[in-house]
Amino acid sequence: MERVYTKDLKEAAGSKVKVAGWVDVRRDHGKLIFLDIRDVSGKVQAVVLPNHETAHEKAKELRSEWVISVIANVNERPEKMVNKDEPNGAIELEVTEIEILSKAQELPFDLDAELKLDTYLDYLPLTLRKPDNRDVFKVQSEILIAFRHFLNSQGFTEFQAPKIIGDDAEGGASVFELEYFKGQKANLAQSPQLYKQIMVGIFERVYTTGNVFRAEKHSTSRHLNEYTSLDIEMGFIQDHLDVIKLTTKLMNAIVSHLEETCAHIFEKRGVEIPLITKHIPHMKLREAQEILKKEYDDELDLSAPDLEPQHERWICEYVRKEMNSDFVFITHYPVEKTAMYAYEDESDPGYTKYFDLLFRGIEIQSGGQRYHEYDKLVAAMKRKGLNPDNFAFYLQAFKYGIPPHGGFGMGLERLTEKFLDIDNVKRATLFPREINRIDTLLTKQNEDKDEKDKN
């Protein structure tokens, strides 16, 4: 007999079916044994009556998380027994046969209990099974589907960027080194930045999704040491505003896709679908600082090169109130704050055609226009104290002609976190790597614990 998913059982009322999944709970009422059976698509209540003797004997053994397959009649519940809050609340399975596919040991805790973050993370192979936790990663997977779908429709080509690289792409300190062959040091990629720019010379418009690595030595609610970076790069742009326009359409496409595919998850969690406008507002960093000083913080230093986390939260609050948007682009960061490839705005010297996209109080994306002229890029590297000889491979893309281009990098986990209004990025990361943990806590944790949750 073909297996039927629990989501399709309503249509099977009156027939005999095979259902397989996990025992969510077992409840005994006198001789009646009730089971909630859970599969990837939902749950259903089943009852095992004593007249189905063999099944009844087996049912007495069952515990939470045992994996079973049952043959059952799909019965409609009498009117007064219908549970309107459950998708399968109008039916009940009457089990006639049970096959035990896998037994489970006694659970360390009730899966429905509220767990501290460390316990949740210690037991991920188990805790991820809880539908509320699993839903987060369903949304994450739908974000990726929408991301790819939209970019494919706009003439982008997906490519895979290398994760072992010879040089530090971003010129920063937070890089993981590894021993390579022939006595050579290599690094884990912090971003596909250099490769996506090279790829503009090949496909004009590209994107890539993959893991990147940041050796940031602190544990906060917004930082991971390995995250999924969604990156695009597009050629033949006028300036960063073309990137902002495309990003705006992309974010609209992602929001609409989630509205279509995950509205039930948003509803269940009591989270609003984000407010998004056809033209996401954008403002220069200095304008944002003026607003913040006037509205929230008269001590704010107008010459600060970046926004503090609290400022990001406030400016998002302001934009939501005044502009009806949960997203806002902040542009024109000072040259000294941005990466070597960020294009300085000729009409606003000292500031770059670069932006951060903030969403519900946090930066989810950075991007902008890059230098495409070889000489300007080499000069910018030197200004940042980088040796152009170390970038000779990358510089070929510019030596041999590349169009004006720009793009962005976006953290998938932060995006998921904010879509679902979760309080910590680690809860929106399947298997988070952070200073104290690779799956399990590192034994050296106590020595490093001084830099604790800062934000």
Site for ligand AMO in 175-194 (CB under 6 A): 191, 193
**Residue 361 binding ligand AMO, by CB under 6 A:** no
Token output for 179: 């021993």
Which of these ranges, 46-54, 107-115, 141-149, 411-419, lies near ligand AMO under the rule CB under 6 A? 411-419
- Sign, CA torsion 153/231/416/133: positive
Question: What per-residue string of b and e applies to 345-378 under the rule 16 or more CB within 10 Å gives b?
Answer: beeeeebbbbbbbbbbbbbbbbbbbbbbebeebb
Which of these ranges, 54-62, 273-281, 302-310, 401-409, lies near ligand AMO under the rule CB under 6 A? 401-409
Site for ligand AMO in 414-443 (CB under 6 A): 414, 425
- Sign, CA torsion 69/70/71/75: negative
Q: Residue from 45, 187, 365, 416 that binds ligand AMO (CB under 6 A)?
A: 365
- Given a contact cutoff of 8 angstroms between Cβ atoms, the answer to whether 423 and 116 are in contact is no
Question: Is 361 or 409 the residue whose CB approaches ligand AMO more closely?
Answer: 409
Find the length of the chain: 455
Closest separation in Å from C-beta 328 to ligand AMO: 13
Question: Is 43 or 223 the residue whose CB approaches ligand AMO more closely?
Answer: 223
Question: Is 43 or 240 the residue whose CB approaches ligand AMO more closely?
Answer: 240
Which of these ranges, 21-29, 44-52, 117-125, 362-370, lies near ligand AMO under the rule CB under 6 A? 362-370
**Residue 367 binding ligand AMO, by CB under 6 A:** yes
- Given a contact cutoff of 8 angstroms between Cβ atoms, the answer to whether 307 and 294 are in contact is no
Alpha-carbon distance 438 to 427, whole Å?
15
Strands (E), 134-214: 157-158, 164-165, 177-179, 185-188, 205-213
**Residue 223 binding ligand AMO, by CB under 6 A:** yes
Closest separation in Å from C-beta 347 to ligand AMO: 21
- Given a contact cutoff of 8 angstroms between Cβ atoms, the answer to whether 257 and 146 are in contact is yes
Q: Residue from 363, 395, 398, 419 that binds ligand AMO (CB under 6 A)?
A: 363
Closest separation in Å from C-beta 393 to ligand AMO: 17
Which of these ranges, 53-61, 121-129, 176-184, 224-232, lies near ligand AMO under the rule CB under 6 A? 224-232
Residue type, 251: M
Token output for 316: 């998002």
Give residues with Cβ within 8 angstroms of 54, minimum separation 6.
Answer: 97, 98
Q: What is the DSSP letter of 77?
A: P
Question: Is 95 or 340 the residue whose CB approaches ligand AMO more closely?
Answer: 340
Alpha-carbon distance 328 to 356, whole Å?
8
Which of these ranges, 77-85, 280-288, 318-326, 402-410, lies near ligand AMO under the rule CB under 6 A? 402-410
Report how far Cα 143 is from the mean position of its chain's Cα atoms. Answer: 8
Q: Residue numbers of the site for ligand AMO (CB under 6 A)?
A: 191, 193, 214, 216, 223-224, 227, 229, 231, 363-367, 407-411, 413-414, 425
